[in-house]
Amino acid sequence: MAEQKGKLKMVCDNRKARHEFHFLETYEAGIELFGTEVKSLRAGQANLQDAYAKVENGEMWLYNMHISPYAMGNRFNREPKRPRRLLLHKQEIIKLYSKVREKGLTIVPVKVYFNGSLAKVEIALAQGKKLYDKREDLVARAVRRDTERALKERSRG
């Protein structure tokens, strides 16, 4: 994903997924939305907690992504947790489907953002971490933080 200044506006991030999964590959997908959902996204009213993607009938669908109803939307608002279609190339969908089916991997949404005027979702082909993997990550983060703190204090003194 080529990030350009001023073009990308982050809406939400799935930090819990980074703790729970190893990301093997990432993809950028468009998302099919209705007007009031786009307005809610622009206001930052979205949540990816417990969201996942699944291939059904040759299409990629995003489940459990919560987009709050737009305050001025009245009857045009949609169900907050309705399934939403992700827009990917057919070959990418086939590739993801075969990997998920064979190796027991899963597809997790990582973040939602606007690229210009288009709403995009970054999804990742992910493998669940074991408990010891999570502990190793915590230890590595603590060691890195301690060394950075020590270097900072040394440079001051």
User: Using one digit for the tens of pLDDT, what is the confidence trace for 56-95?
Assistant: 998 999 999 888 887 776 776 777 788 989 999 999 999 9
Half-sphere exposure of 98 (CA within 13 A, CB side): 5
pLDDT digits (tens, 9 = 90+) for 90-139: 999 999 999 998 887 899 999 999 998 889 999 999 988 877 777 888 88
DSSP 8-class letter at 76: G
Which of helix, strand or coil describes residue 7?
coil
Note the CATH number of domain 8-129.
2.40.280.10
User: How do the domains of the chain map onto residue ranges?
Assistant: 8-129
Closest CA to 51 of 62, 40, 41, 39: 62
Determine if the pTM surpasses 0.85: no
